[in-house]
Amino acid sequence: MDLEQIRTFLSVAANGSFQEAANRLYVTQSTVSMRIQRLEEYLRAPLFVRNRAGAHLTQQGRRFLKHAKSMLLTLEQAKHDIGLPSRFRASITVGARIALCETILPRWIGEIRNVLPDVSLRCDIGFEEDLMRRLIEGTVDIGLMYTPQHSPGLKVEHLFDETLVLLTTQPDRPWPDDDYVYVDWGPAFYAQHSSSYPNLERPAQVVNIGWLGIQLILTNGGSCFLPIRMAEPYIWAKRLHRVPNSPEFKLPAYMVYPLDAESPVLTQVLGNLRTLATVERQTSYA
């Protein structure tokens, strides 16, 4: 049994497909099959049930899942800790959506660094699918995101609600306009948006990152929905303006982490994030 077999097992378990795991790992499907076969031979147990619908964990596979994540996490931590300077007692990796890295995460990381100066913090940007995969694999300790998936062994915890508002570069222009940029904030936003604008045709511009929506309308003119905290500096500078009588939408932000987290440092960081989220909620509602 080697590290690549464990990574491959976790990828198949996370994606429910040998082919999708191959795509994620940038190898052929036959390579994935070979690695899983060798792992099953080593463990002397079938790990997946394969059918047209994909690949599903057997009872033995579900039992091995916890051990596989633990082994990968231990190896990754060992690799990182070998190069960790002696002034740090531990390291934590936080993955987040780019919108949450705009003002919130840098501020939160600064607060955590003040409380835990002897802990090394790594911050990665990603989308939910990638963040969930890395949480399952154990290469991310904490994920901050809008639309998490529920997965065995992971805890999904609500942190706070974003307030999305409709902003425009031209306040006197009637809305909707031809330069409206639809930012895909996920299923919850889509449902609220569709309910408020049932007759709105598909916009000419669609993006999946709020930052890109801002850049498009600032460069070319137009409008889009953004979290109010991201928009405030532009509103103060009079570069963006609220569209009159437009609705506000709520977008929940979540924290995802391993259920069986035994690291006291990780437990402390999670507690710090909960405290900071409480402050965020109080500030938002004030």
Q: Cβ–Cβ contacts within 10 Å for residue 200, how many?
A: 12
How does the average pLDDT of the chain come out, rounded?
A: 88
42 Cβ neighbours under 8 A, 6+ residues apart: 1, 5
Of 13, 1, 16, 7, whose CA–CA distance to 62 is shortest?
A: 13
To the question of domain 90-286 being in CATH 3.40.50.720, the answer is: no
* pLDDT tens, residue by residue, 219-245: 999 999 999 988 999 999 999 999 999
Find out whether 251 and 164 touch, Cβ atoms under 8 Å: yes
Q: What is the pLDDT of residue 69?
A: 81
Domains of the chain by residue range:
3-78, 90-286
Percent of the chain with pLDDT over 70: 95
pLDDT of 80 > 70? The answer is no
Length of the chain: 286
Cross-strand pairs, 27: none
Rounded mean pLDDT, 194-222: 93
Of 241, 202, 237, whose CA–CA distance to 221 is shortest?
A: 241
Which residue spans within the chain are E strands per DSSP? 48-51, 54-57, 90-96, 119-125, 142-145, 154-168, 181-183, 205-207, 223-227, 241-242, 249-258
* pLDDT tens, residue by residue, 249-278: 999 999 999 887 678 888 889 998 999 888
Q: Which CATH number is correct for 3-78, 3.50.50.60, 1.10.10.10, 3.40.50.300, 1.10.3720.10?
A: 1.10.10.10
